């Protein structure tokens, strides 16, 4: 091995601070700046930046590379920086004898951890760059770029490239006062291995960064209600639990299935959510704290919130507005300020509001921070890589089960083709179930190899509501032959329903319908209403 081959390999992301520094130098030297990054009047910047291209003042990348011996320097450029990457390479080359090369990585959003991870993994595995085979000579510089590029570079370097090293740089004013050193090696206080990647997979990788951001930005403010939206099976409950875990709550994660809770009357609904005093209603044989009480210092997850009937919605609205709850049969109230509220639904809640099934004021309360979770078919059509990562993470999670200990579960090529060709209307839940039962069969019968035949035998198509049975109208496509008659019939139906729920108290029914007492009273006294009832 010759001397050149023994020199280190440097890897660094290109960052905005580096581009700004380069442009200031170009302005001062009468060169046209790279379009888009001229951040000031050159005359005003002249004095401030007169020291540019002095040792240690050339931006993070050149602070790391200037004057240091290396075989090659790889500069990672995300999509938005492609245009200026070559100009920046020339700028870096001014301070080193090493060969400089731009690596154009496919990262549209440098704050997306999944995109950054996939880009780094592709870079490591590309034989052109020889990173994997030269890990012990590779030095990563992380001070340029975003928090996502920095974090994933450290993690993947330690987990996937054993022997590689990571470094950070600081500005000259923060250099070591004794030595003047600006380059520091990053030493982690714990050990990472390649197994960590599979062990941390949660089954909905494509949404992880989105959920992390929600937890980081909104999760700590308990008066902000988070609403998770998406089809059945996209991972809403897992996402809610993940937010709870990321926020580091001391209290419990409490699930309230609103569809089940709303089956009883309003008092039962209140009792389940907010608690009840002994003897306050038939069956109340002891004091209860309710689900909100159990969630103190933690999170309550209001699943299927769209299933709460109109008659019950006012109860929840009042509590969310006042941030105070009251047990049934109790005169005292208690604060819910220490309860994080996350709601979820697979329904189009805005449409329910328009059609009178969900209160508009409650909608604005629960949808303060709406988060849409993509269905699998949408992920598959936009990025097969993301889809594959989800399948791999699910399989890795399944393999952690004790029953598979000591064995390897693997999808064959034809199995991959099979799962990629399906729509997965049940989303992650359906994919997980199919892989789970297929893994059990493959473990017993096929040495852990899951092939297309095994998947097919455990895959069942879910009937889709694309058409209605003969003679039954499709409400999505129905156009009434007589619009006035159709509207009148529906007004009568809703008025009757409201009166029944309010035990024929016209004032209560009017409030439930969102209209005045006079308007409802006039309507129910019309002949067309009386004749129908």
Provide mean pLDDT across the span 242-262: 88
What is the model's pLDDT at position 301? 95
Instruction: State whether 489 and 451 are in the same domain.
Output: no
Provide mean pLDDT across the span 202-229: 74
User: Which residue in 260, 272, 206 sits closest to 238, CA to CA?
Assistant: 206
Mean per-residue pLDDT over the chain, rounded: 82
Ramachandran sector of residue 360 (left: φ over 0; alpha: ψ -120 to 50; beta: rest): alpha
Cβ atoms of residues 388 and 432 within 8 Å? no
Instruction: Give the count of domains, the chain.
Output: 4
What is the model's pLDDT at position 482? 65
Instruction: State whether 362 and 278 are in the same domain.
Output: yes
The predicted model scores a pTM of 0.49
Summarised one tens digit per residue, pLDDT across range 481-522 is 666 777 777 788 888 888 877 778 887 788 778 787 778 888
Range of the domain at 384: 376-457
Of 173-177, 375-379, 504-508, give the lowest mean pLDDT range.
504-508
Of 192-196, 270-274, 497-501, give the lowest mean pLDDT range.
192-196
What is the model's pLDDT at position 267? 82
Of 142-146, 210-214, 402-406, give the lowest mean pLDDT range.
402-406
Instruction: State whether 526 and 449 are in the same domain.
Output: no
Provide mean pLDDT across the span 205-216: 69
Asked if pLDDT for residue 45 goes beyond 50, the answer is no
Instruction: State whether 251 and 166 are in the same domain.
Output: no
Asked if pLDDT for residue 253 goes beyond 90, the answer is yes
pLDDT range class, residue 35, cuts 50, 70, 90: very low
Instruction: State whether 415 and 365 are in the same domain.
Output: no
Provide mean pLDDT across the span 305-315: 90
Instruction: State whether 451 and 429 are in the same domain.
Output: yes
What is the model's pLDDT at position 48? 42
What is the model's pLDDT at position 172? 86
In-domain check, residue 525: yes
Q: What percent of the chain has pLDDT over 70?
A: 85
Of 154-158, 284-288, 476-480, give the lowest mean pLDDT range.
476-480
In-domain check, residue 463: no
Higher pLDDT, 361 or 502: 361
Q: What percent of the chain has pLDDT over 90?
A: 28
CATH of the domain at 178: 3.40.50.10770
End-to-end CA distance of the chain: 96
Helix (H, G, I), strand (E, B) or coil at 10: strand
Which structure tokens are listed for 455?
């998947």
C-alpha–C-alpha distance, residues 32 and 160, integer Å: 41
Instruction: State whether 274 and 394 are in the same domain.
Output: no
C-alpha–C-alpha distance, residues 78 and 81, integer Å: 6
Long-range CB contacts (< 8 A, 24+ apart) of 182-189? 182/56, 182/63, 183/63, 183/64, 186/142, 186/154, 188/154, 188/158
What is the model's pLDDT at position 294? 93
In-domain check, residue 476: no
Instruction: State whether 156 and 178 are in the same domain.
Output: yes
């Amino acid at each position: 091995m010759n001397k050149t081959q023994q020199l280190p390999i440097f890897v660094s992301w290109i960052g905005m601070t580096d581009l700004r520094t380069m442009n200031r130098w170009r302005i001062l030297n009468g060169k046209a700046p790279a379009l888009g990054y001229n951040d000031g009047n050159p005359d005003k910047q002249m004095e401030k930046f007169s020291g540019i291209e002095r040792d240690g003042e050339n931006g993070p990348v050149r602070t790391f590379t200037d004057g240091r011996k290396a075989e090659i320097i790889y500069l990672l450029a995300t999509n938005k920086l492609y245009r200026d990457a070559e100009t920046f390479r020339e700028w870096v080359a001014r301070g080193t004898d090493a060969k400089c090369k731009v690596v154009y990585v496919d990262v549209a959003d440098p704050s997306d951890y999944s995109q950054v991870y996939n880009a780094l993994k592709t870079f490591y595995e590309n034989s052109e760059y020889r990173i994997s085979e030269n890990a012990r000579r590779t030095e990563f510089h992380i001070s340029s770029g975003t928090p996502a590029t920095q974090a994933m570079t450290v993690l993947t370097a330690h987990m996937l490239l054993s022997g590689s090293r990571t470094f950070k740089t600081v500005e000259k004013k923060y250099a070591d006062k004794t030595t003047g050193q600006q380059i520091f090696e990053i030493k982690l206080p714990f050990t990472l291995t390649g197994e960590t990647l599979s062990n941390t997979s949660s089954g909905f990788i494509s949404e992880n960064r989105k959920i992390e951001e929600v937890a980081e930005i909104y999760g700590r403010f308990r008066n902000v209600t988070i609403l998770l939206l998406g089809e059945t099976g996209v991972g809403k409950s897992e996402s809610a639990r993940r937010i709870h875990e990321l926020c580091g709550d001391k209290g419990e994660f409490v699930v309230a299935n609103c569809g089940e809770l709303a089956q009883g009357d309003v008092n039962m609904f209140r009792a389940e959510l907010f608690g009840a005093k002994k003897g306050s209603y038939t069956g109340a044989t002891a004091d209860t704290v309710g689900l909100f009480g159990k969630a103190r210092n933690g999170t309550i997850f209001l699943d299927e919130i769209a299933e709460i009937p109109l008659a019950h919605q006012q109860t929840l609205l009042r509590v969310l507005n006042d941030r105070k709850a009251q047990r049934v049969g109790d005169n005292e109230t208690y604060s819910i300020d220490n309860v994080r509220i996350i709601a979820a639904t697979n329904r189009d809640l805005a449409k329910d509001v328009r059609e009178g099934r969900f209160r508009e004021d409650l909608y604005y309360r629960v949808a303060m921070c709406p988060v849409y979770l993509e269905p699998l078919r949408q992920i598959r059509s936009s990025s097969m890589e993301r889809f594959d990562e989800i399948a791999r993470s699910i399989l890795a999670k399944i393999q952690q089960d004790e029953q598979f200990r000591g064995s390897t579960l693997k999808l064959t090529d034809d199995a991959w083709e099979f799962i990629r060709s399906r729509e997965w209307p049940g989303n992650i839940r359906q994919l997980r179930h199919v892989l789970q039962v297929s893994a059990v069969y493959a473990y017993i019968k096929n040495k852990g190899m899951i092939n297309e035949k095994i998947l097919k035998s455990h895959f069942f198509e879910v009937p889709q509501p694309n058409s209605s049975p003969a003679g039954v109208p499709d409400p999505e496509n129905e156009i009434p032959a007589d619009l006035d008659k159709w509207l009148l019939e529906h007004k009568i139906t809703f008025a009757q329903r409201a009166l029944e729920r309010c035990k024929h108290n016209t004032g209560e029914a009017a409030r439930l319908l969102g209209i005045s007492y006079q308007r409802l009273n006039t309507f129910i006294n019309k002949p067309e209403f009386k004749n129908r009832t």
